[in-house]
């Protein structure tokens, strides 16, 4: 899901009418999700693998309040800058897709330091 495109209304995220982006939420393929999850668990272990909504925006998030907001309002498991944009293209052609992320930071006040490390 794009977390900074559209607006959050009473019924959830609302798409803006645009020639560039026709939808805010991109559904991943459930079979690919299952395969990706199982493969990740085999490689790094279940305690390090999370499954759920990845939210994409055009900002490097370093604000714990915004992270909490995205978690509570959207159910975000990961905040990043590329995944939904990459998934958008195959979704326009009905090609099954899934986003797999490895995160460098927790999008908190230490994110710049974590990223550098």
Q: 60-109: per-residue pLDDT in tens?
A: 888 888 889 889 988 999 989 899 889 989 998 999 999 998 877 666 66
- Higher-confidence residue of 11 and 32: namely 32
Q: Tell me whether residue 57 is in a domain.
A: yes
pTM greater than the 0.75 cutoff: no
How far is the C-alpha of 11 from the C-alpha of 37, rounded, in Å? Answer: 29
Token pair recorded at residue 77? 């498991």
Token pair recorded at residue 88? 């958008």
Quote the number of domains for the chain.
1
CATH number at residue 77: 3.40.50.1580
Q: Is the Cβ–Cβ distance between 76 and 55 less than 8 Å?
A: yes
Q: Tell me whether residue 70 is in a domain.
A: yes
């Amino acid at each position: 899901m794009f977390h900074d495109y559209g607006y959050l209304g009473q019924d959830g995220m609302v798409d803006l009418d645009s020639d560039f982006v026709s939808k805010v939420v991109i559904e991943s393929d459930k079979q690919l999700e299952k395969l990706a999850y199982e493969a990740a668990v085999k490689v790094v272990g279940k305690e390090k693998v999370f499954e759920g909504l990845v939210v994409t925006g055009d900002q490097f998030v370093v604000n714990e309040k915004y992270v909490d907001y995205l978690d509570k309002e959207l159910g975000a498991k990961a905040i990043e800058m590329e995944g939904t944009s990459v998934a958008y293209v195959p979704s326009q052609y009905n090609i099954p897709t899934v986003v797999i992320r490895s995160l460098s930071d927790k999008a908190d006040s230490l994110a710049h330091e974590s990223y550098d490390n």
